[in-house]
Amino acid sequence: MNNFASVSPGELTQRRLLLRRHRRIKQIKSVWRTLAIGGLLGGLVWGASQPFWVVRESRQINVTGNKLLTTPAIQSLLKISYPQTLLEIKPKALAQQLAAQPTISDAKVTRSLFPPSLTVQVTERIPVAVALTKNTTPGLIAADGVWIPQQSYAAPNSTSFKMPKLKVMGQIEQYQPHWSQLYQAVNSLEVKVSEINWQNPDNLILKTELGVIHLGAYSSKLSAQLRRLEEMRRLPTKVNPQDVAYIDLTNPANPFVQMTSESLQKDKLAKKTDPRP
């Protein structure tokens, strides 16, 4: 109370005037800041719309991240009507166009003023198998199950692109929901798998270095079946692979080796000609 009483009316008036002045200064600074930012943005918008900030040809599109697809191939996927100002170009829409392609899993597009250009960064889908069907031309399939037309790659004989060694047979719609899990499981095997035959939904067949493997219908037993297959890696040291028709792992707890008819006939003949009693 004593402090307030010691302040004279004149001093209070001076303090109020100072506070009002400070508030006016802050308001003026805020207005100038808003005008400056608005002017800068307006200038950028105006500048980007001028004829000299124009993308006139595909050579002004820089592409990064591509290893399998050529730069011209990716440039051709962008739906741009040349010439077009940078302001008219929508990077997000272009990125969505690219990501919708089966060969590209993700894309990012950015604009640059100096010089006027676009930068496209892509993440490609890597084909992991050749997809063979009866009704369609051969294609490629990625690890996530996306089917890719083989002609998507402009230079399939180039050193940057090599056809996958793995083949998968059957209707894509049938195995696509399970492909990602199956491929990861098969790819992690020490036993080499060269072909996956899914033509018969009741019998998934693998062609491996041990021979032909029958797994029956695709089920939750897949992990146990593939573990059993790994355990049979030494089978060729006990049985001639040429004498094996197929290995049945439908029941992984009780694997069955089906011998060829020729090998069975040889065994019968050997028993008949065996002079031992």
pLDDT of residue 159: 53
pLDDT beneath 70, residues of the chain: 1-12, 15-17, 31, 35-36, 38-52, 154-160, 263-277
Could you give the number of structural domains in the chain?
A: 3
| Same domain flag for 115 and 179 | no
Q: Tell me what pLDDT residue 113 has.
A: 85
Question: How far is C-alpha 152 from the chain's CA centre?
Answer: 15
Query: Is the domain of 115 the same as that of 139?
Result: no
Strand partners, 206: 196, 213
pLDDT of residue 123: 96
Question: Is 231 within the bounds of a domain?
Answer: yes
Domain, as residue range, for 83 = 54-124
User: What integer pLDDT is reported at residue 7 of this predicted model?
Assistant: 58
Question: From the CA atom positions of the chain, what is the Rg in Å?
Answer: 35
Question: Is the pTM of the predicted complex or chain greater than 0.75?
Answer: no
Residues 109 and 191 in one domain: no
Those residues with Cβ within 8 angstroms of residue 22's Cβ, 6 or more apart along the chain or in another chain = none
Alpha-carbon distances of 149 from 100, 152, 170, 224, rounded to whole Å: 14, 6, 16, 34
The CATH number for 143's domain is 3.40.50.11690
CATH code at 61?
A: 3.10.20.310
Residue 277 is predicted with a pLDDT of 41
Whole-number Å distance between alpha carbons of 234 and 137: 38
In this structure, the answer to whether residues 119 and 139 fall within a common structural domain is no
Is 263 found in the same domain as 133? yes
Asked if 217 and 175 count as a contact pair (C-beta separation under 8 A), the reply is no
**What per-residue confidence (pLDDT) applies to 63?**
96
